[in-house]
Amino acid sequence: MKKTILVASLILSLVFTWLPAIANAAERVDIIIRGGTVVTMDGTSRVIENGAVAVKGERIIAVGTTSDIAAKYTAARTIDAAGKVVMPGLINTHTHVPMVLFRGIADDLVLMEWLQKYIFPAEAKNVDEQFVRWGTRLGCLEMIQGGTTTFVDMYYFEDAIADETARAGMRAVLGETVLDFPAPDNKTWDAAMAYAETFAAKWKGNALITPAIAPHAPYTVSTDHLKQTHSFSQRLGVPLVTHIAEDQAEVKTIQERYGASSVAYLDRIGLLDERVIAAHMVWPTSDDIITLAKRSVGVAHCPQSNMKLAAGAAPVPQMLKAGVAVGLGTDGAASNNDLNLWEEMDTAAKLHKFTSKDPTVLNAREALEMATIRGARAIHQDKDIGSLEGGKRADLIIVGMDSAHQTPVYNIYSELVYATKASDVETVMINGRIVMQNRRVLTIDERSVRVKANEYRDRIRKSIAAQ
Amino acid sequence: MKKTILVASLILSLVFTWLPAIANAAERVDIIIRGGTVVTMDGTSRVIENGAVAVKGERIIAVGTTSDIAAKYTAARTIDAAGKVVMPGLINTHTHVPMVLFRGIADDLVLMEWLQKYIFPAEAKNVDEQFVRWGTRLGCLEMIQGGTTTFVDMYYFEDAIADETARAGMRAVLGETVLDFPAPDNKTWDAAMAYAETFAAKWKGNALITPAIAPHAPYTVSTDHLKQTHSFSQRLGVPLVTHIAEDQAEVKTIQERYGASSVAYLDRIGLLDERVIAAHMVWPTSDDIITLAKRSVGVAHCPQSNMKLAAGAAPVPQMLKAGVAVGLGTDGAASNNDLNLWEEMDTAAKLHKFTSKDPTVLNAREALEMATIRGARAIHQDKDIGSLEGGKRADLIIVGMDSAHQTPVYNIYSELVYATKASDVETVMINGRIVMQNRRVLTIDERSVRVKANEYRDRIRKSIAAQ
């Protein structure tokens, strides 16, 4: 009798030992990240304690508890995330990345003095293809170190920016800026549009880079030219990135010129649709907000930039309520002065409590959504990024949770939005590739970037002093 | 002839070689920090490239160029600060330090729900002497890591907080909180005042700790009791720390109860003088601001806490214009949720640009002054701390300047306020003692603090769930 039980239990134990192994053999993946608190940001806001993420190639295969994932998958490589958070990479919905080379060049000034005395002369004298290459390297370095995996850019020489961004292993929507003035890369409208066409054709379909057209703003691009950019966006199926309703001066100009608010005017000329990513949107009317929702326009909210330039506070709670897709952006480092989305989350949550006179407005989870899944919706890529779900692109970050400033942890969303810093991000994966491991960026040579940035600083200083 | 010249130049060269050495021998100091950009925050806002600071015992002996200091002093120990900034330690003019153990316990709530459902029950059930000891260790750890060298506290069991703060090597003004309700440490007014008396007598004259009396607020302490605290402050020569005009509800209550604004009421009863440190001051009238300046009251401005709790924006530009000494505070981590003055500087500069609709308001240098020399004035210790000047206490920090998010550097104040993070602080000296070196805190055992904080978290969670 005892012998029978012994044999039976031996058989059972063999079955239980081998079954998972057989199942595992059936599905082999590249990387399993396990043991962490997985903050999925999915439709049900699932948070999985002792969770795991299985990654194969460029995509997430599955998300679940560590034991579930271990039962179904084996991997060549496992990463232990015990005591850490595994979450989607952050999405910076608005920046001008090469402008990091102008970081802090001129602060605490009124917009026109800032632009005309510093930024325009500095750009005219210094911005060329090499400038944007080094600026993009520096900007990508900072963004990767802070857990940003996707950004939306508006600048010049976007083909070079695309090249450097892809080398850094980052995901981006890159909008070649076109406007009714000579730009550092193209001196005429037609040349700029031709450049954009070549650029878009070259990068369309790339796994990381989404080329886009970026008419600067409704007050710097004529109605005819704006219509051209919309046709371009439709014809090539690429996003249209622009600034809308950034400050009251713009709204006044558009009202005087076209007899309508910025949003109403752009809607009248047919610009607004589900390919548009509109930065700032500080001054939409209630009707404008309805229009934005109806046209599925994505909005990039830049709270720190808007405060620093005294532009105002965008009506974010109202836009969210109306169903507008609102993400977070840093704006360029010449105005903000960093590319840190942790601080934008924190500021957004606090700013809208303050302006609404209601501390329950824009809670921590909503602020984190704006930096992840809502940001993905704002840039029209929520099918692919913004949350940790099987089938999506493997864009994720591992965040340490045991710094003194994070201790102790009661609520994971509060902790991430109000206490966690960019320096707590440890490991960054974009499109299945690890680009930062234990705070070492693997795709960019940090030292050469620093040396070159300082050279540019010296040169730029001289160029401004000489004017 | 040639020989004479040779001999003469030999003598001369000997004189020039030995003169500095003889001078050096005359003044030997303990530590020289050299080769850095010294941002003094002194009366002339002197910034010294390739500068040095000589420290002897608890004080700064001299500040100058590296070559000047090398010519006049020798030191047992030198610290190379090349490529880094050497500046005064930051001053946190308002916090409740042990509340770090409640960090993130309840956010995004209206004040009364937050207080009555979470904070008061959690405090009643958990706050004892051991709690404040571990909370102070955790809080000091976070503050030292972020370059804060002095803080102003309001809590209970301040004698234990003083003991832990002194062990951590930090400077602090510690206000024993007294109010017309039973507190975790003292159940009656008389017991609390007796505790404060013993506490003040014990610590008065300590090089690091300034004991203080802290009547909670004008709406939680009766007029008679407030007058008692003022006599206490006068008699013992200690600061009086309190909350004044934090939100509109308070202002309304005081108006109804006493027929005056909070400031006017407190002035009428004789509370306001050059020993008062008043936190928040969100809602002073124009007349109140004149009173604050006339009475030399120091103000602790807490921009992030005020925004998060939707209390409002203090009229900081107006207070500064009127000559009121305004510093920066984080408030407690249960509301804010960290003790990070870099983010308070950044937020203060942006918030007041936004509310003033003027991007030139509260420039980077002024924001940095609020965290250093103006903060020292606000806590009435500017003769001793807040700037790097010969004769002052040696409270200073060395800040790395080569992170990607800081690169490149055009303007040192912009860089420190808008781009530098707490994680860039490398070395911290308080009262001549190095308490953090290359990011390793030497005075607190980080691991034991983390373990204990998590134990408290588990216990506190249960105590709230059980109510």
Q: Any residues with CB less than 8 A from the CB of A123 and at least 6 apart, and which? A: A184
Q: What is the pLDDT of residue B19?
A: 52
Q: Is the pLDDT of residue B388 over 90?
A: yes
Q: How far is CA A237 from CA A157, A204, A210, A274, in A?
A: 20, 9, 10, 11
Q: What are the tens digits of pLDDT across the range B447-463?
A: 999 999 999 999 999 98
Give me the number of domains chain B comprises: 1
CB contacts of A307 in chain B (<8 Å) are 350-351, 353-354
Peptide bond before B337: cis, by omega within 30 degrees of 0? yes
- Across residues B207-221, what is the average pLDDT? 98
Cβ distance B411 to A313 less than 8 Å, yes or no, reads no
Instruction: Identify from A37, A99, A107 which residue to disrupt to test chain B contact, counting B C-beta atoms within 10 A and taking the largest count.
Output: A107
Please judge whether A307 and B109 are an interchain contact, meaning their C-beta atoms are less than 8 angstroms apart.
Answer: no
pLDDT confidence band for B120 (50 / 70 / 90) = confident
Evaluate whether A416 touches A85 at the Cβ level (below 8 Å).
yes
Task: Determine, for residues A308 and B343 on separate chains, whether the beta-carbon distance falls below 8 Å.
Answer: no
Return the beta strands (E) in A271-324 as ranges: 276-280, 298-301
Please check the confidence at residue B1 and state whether its pLDDT lies above 80.
no
Of A310, A339, A354, the CB nearest to B357: A310
Read off the tokens for A221.
């691009």
Q: What is the pLDDT of residue A24?
A: 47
Of B81, B422, B407, B417, the C-alpha closest to A444 is: B407
Whose CA is closest to A34, among A5, A89, A75?
A: A75
Burial class (CB in 10 A: 0-12, 13-18, 19+), A440: exposed
Residue-level pLDDT at B13: 54
Q: For residues B12 and B70, which has the higher predicted lDDT (pLDDT)?
A: B70
pLDDT at residue A464, as a whole number: 82
Q: Would you call B456 and A405 a contact, using CB atoms and an 8 Å cutoff?
A: no
Beta strands B440-441 and B433-437, pairing class? antiparallel
Does some domain include residue A428?
A: no
Of A102, A312, A360, the CB nearest to B109: A360
CA B357 to chain centre: 29
Return the pLDDT at B115.
83
The mean pLDDT value for B202-218 works out to 98
Partners of A109 on chain B (C-beta within 8 Å) are: 359-360
Q: Tokens standing for B173?
A: 């003004």
Query: Which of B131, B410, B440 would you mutate first to test chain A, the one with the most A CBs within 10 A?
Result: B410
What's the whole-number mean pLDDT along residues B307-316? 97
A107 and chain B: CB distance < 8 Å anywhere? yes
Residue B298, beta-bridge partner list: B277, B325
Residues 300 to 319 of A: which have CB under 8 A from any B CB? 304, 306-310, 312-313
Which residues are within 8 A (CB) of A328 and not within 5 positions of it... i.e. 6 or more apart? A91, A92, A93, A300, A301, A302, A303, A341, A344, A345, A348, A370, A371, A375
Identify the closest residue of chain B to A340 by CA–CA distance: B405
Q: Indicate whether A72 belongs to any domain.
A: no
By CB atoms closer than 10 A (0-12, 13-18, 19+), residue B427 is buried
In this predicted structure, what is the pLDDT of residue A166? 98
Which residue carries 């800032």 as its tokens? A114
Query: Nearest CA to B372 among B147, B37, B140?
Result: B147
What is the token pair recorded at A183?
């730009």
Q: Is B80 an interface residue toward A (CB < 8 Å)?
A: no
Domain presence at residue B198: yes
The pLDDT, as a whole number, for residue A393 is 98
Query: What kind and span of H or E run contains A152?
Result: strand A148-155
* Binary contact (B411, A109; C-beta < 8 A): no
* Chain A residue numbers touching B450 (CB-CB < 8 A): 402, 404, 407
CB pair distance less than 8 Å for A405 and B142: yes
Tell me which residue in A337, A360, A415 faces B414 most closely, judged by beta carbons: A337
User: In one letter, which amino acid is B170?
Assistant: M
pLDDT at B467: 59
Residue A424 domain-assigned (yes or no): no
Integer Cα distance of A182 and A176 in angstroms: 14
Predicted confidence (pLDDT) per residue in B246-290, tens digit: 999 999 999 999 999 999 999 999 999 999 999 999 999 999 999
Can you tell me the distance from the alpha carbon of B221 to that of B193, in angstroms, rounded to the nearest whole number? 13
Task: Show the tokens assigned to B460.
Answer: 């506190």
Residue B357 pLDDT > 70, yes or no? yes
User: A55 CA to chain B: closest CA distance, Å?
Assistant: 29
Residue A375, domain member (yes or no): yes
Q: Is B409 contained in some domain?
A: no
Q: Does residue B141 sit within a domain?
A: yes
Which residue reads 């939707």 in tokens? B310
CB contact under 8 A, B110 and A407: no
**Segments forming the whole domain that contains residue B138:** 89-387
Give me the helices (H) in B169-315, please: 189-203, 223-236, 248-258, 262-268, 286-294, 303-308
A450: which chain B residues are within 8 Å (Cβ-Cβ)?
Answer: 402, 404, 407
Quote the percentage of chain B above a pLDDT of 70.
94
Most B CBs within 10 Å, among A103, A363, A450, to test the B interface: A103
- Taking the CA of residue B437 and the nearest CA in chain A, the distance in Å comes to 16
Distance CA A342, CA A416 (A): 8
Global ipTM = 0.93
Candidates A421, A400, A401, A422; CA nearest to A410 is A401
Quickly list DSSP for A359-376. TTSS-HHHHHHHHTHHHH
Which helix H or strand E contains A190, and what residues bound it? Answer: helix A189-203
**Residue B230 counted as domain residue:** yes
pLDDT tens digits in sequence order for chain A, 467 residues long: 455 555 555 555 554 544 545 544 559 999 999 999 999 999 999 999 999 999 999 999 999 999 999 999 999 999 999 999 999 999 999 999 999 999 999 999 987 888 888 998 899 999 999 999 999 999 999 999 999 999 999 999 999 999 999 999 999 999 999 999 999 999 999 999 999 999 999 999 999 999 999 999 999 999 999 999 999 999 999 999 999 999 999 999 999 999 999 999 999 999 999 999 999 999 999 999 999 999 999 999 999 999 999 999 999 999 999 999 999 999 999 988 999 999 999 999 999 999 999 999 999 999 999 999 999 999 999 999 999 999 999 999 999 999 999 999 999 999 999 999 999 999 999 999 999 999 999 999 999 999 999 999 999 999 887 65
For residue A418, give the DSSP letter.
I
Quote the minimal CA–CA distance from A413 to chain B in Å.
Answer: 9
- Count of CB pairs separated by less than 8 Å, A with B: 212
Compute the average pLDDT of residues B181-198. Answer: 97
Three-state secondary structure readout of B113-170 = HHHHHHHHHHHHHHCCHHHHHHHHHHHHHHHHHCCEEEEEEEECCHHHHHHHHHHHCC
CA A129: distance to chain centroid? 23
Nearest chain A alpha carbon to B342:
A343
For residues A240 and B49, give the distance between their C-alpha atoms in angstroms, rounded to a whole number: 46
Residue B89 is predicted with a pLDDT of 98
User: Tell me, what CATH number does A213's domain have?
Assistant: 3.20.20.140
- Quote the pLDDT of residue B172: 99
A343 touching B, CB under 8 A? yes
Mutate to test the interface with A, among B305, B354, B445 (most CBs of A within 10 A): B354
- Mean pLDDT confidence for B76-81: 97
Backbone torsions φ then ψ of A450, nearest 5 degrees: -65, -45
Mean pLDDT of chain B: 94
Measure the CA–CA gap between A374 and A364, rounded to whole angstroms: 13
